[in-house]
Amino acid sequence: MDVSLEPLKARRLALLLRERIASGEIAPGSRLASEPALALEHGVSRVTVRRALDSLASDGLIDRRVGAGTFVREPEAPKPIVADFANMLTHLVEMGRRTGVHLLSFSYVHPPEAVAHSLGLAAGERTQRSVRVRLIDGQPFSYLTTHVPERIGLTYSESDLASVPLLSLLERSGAAVERASQTISATLASPDVAEALGLEIGSPLLSLTRVVFGPDGRGVEHLHALYRPDRYSFQMELHRAGDAGERRWSPAPARTAESADAVPTAVGAA
């Protein structure tokens, strides 16, 4: 047996069992197979099985009861926040009102070149940079790094940002918000992000980069957001469009503000 491979095998088994639990294939309250049975099923040693189960237990997914076996715990984590693409800006302000935030840093910096370019900043222009962790029912779900042009950032304080949604602060400053462009991908948690979100280093994360623009086309905010996929998801309504023979899926028209308020997309704990 190659001992050096055991941690990798244990992580693989833990991820497999985690996925089965998350999908409902292994239902809450049900009993897992015994360690020998799991070892035989997956072709690994009992040491590997034990390490995988230790990982699941430390994350609160299973209970290991002496003399009784290992059982899947009833979910205690809050339901994930669901972001509605069609009403993104409305959703952002509403989410800011329904969730808590920890402000980790607040400073004025010369931004990375890519950020300066996306915001359309003049040479040498600084930004107000902040790093925040947003929480739902006290549980962290996002790690947010924002850059706002200094001329706008000077209109609010560190204490403002710790208690008021950023979009509200932007509009209070007189910076009109008209549209946003965003890109979504995936990444792995670095040590500092993993610590802030309560995850293991290298855990998968949703990665979103958004640039918010005013009516004049100038950028007013650059956001890089990292989300726990078990606590945050994106939703888009689609409808069939196009002529016969060229039918395709297309984003549904945005709901009005009234209907968006009537059907909130931020979901709290059960």
Count of positions (residues) in the chain: 270
Given 24, 46, 72, the domain boundary residue is 72
pTM beyond 0.85: the answer is: no
Do both 46 and 178 map to the same domain? no
pLDDT for position 261? 32
Residue 200 forms part of a structural domain: yes
Do both 88 and 220 map to the same domain? yes
Do both 41 and 95 map to the same domain? no
Residue 251 forms part of a structural domain: yes
Taking the C-alpha atoms of residue 129 and residue 147, their distance in angstroms, rounded to an integer, is 5
pLDDT for position 84? 45
Residue 2 forms part of a structural domain: no
Q: Collapse the DSSP code of 105 into the 3-class scheme (helix H, G, I; strand E, B; otherwise coil) and give the result.
A: strand
pLDDT for position 82? 53
Residue 1 forms part of a structural domain: no
Q: What is the mean pLDDT of each run of 10 residues along the chain (270 residues)?
A: 68 86 82 92 91 87 87 68 47 55 93 92 94 87 93 91 84 85 90 90 90 91 92 75 74 47 29
β-sheet bridge partners, residue 223: 146, 210
Q: Are strands 219-227 and 139-149 parallel, antiparallel or unpaired?
A: antiparallel
* Cα maximum dimension of the chain: 68
Do both 47 and 101 map to the same domain? no
Taking the C-alpha atoms of residue 198 and residue 141, their distance in angstroms, rounded to an integer, is 9
pLDDT for position 90? 45
Of 12, 25, 140, 149, which is closest to residue 77 (Cα–Cα)?
A: 140
Do both 136 and 263 map to the same domain? yes
pLDDT for position 4? 57
Residue 207 forms part of a structural domain: yes
CATH number at residue 33: 1.10.10.10
pLDDT for position 108? 95
Do both 47 and 112 map to the same domain? no
Given 19, 38, 72, the domain boundary residue is 72
Containing structural domain, residue 46: 8-72
pLDDT for position 149? 95
Taking the C-alpha atoms of residue 51 and residue 47, their distance in angstroms, rounded to an integer, is 6
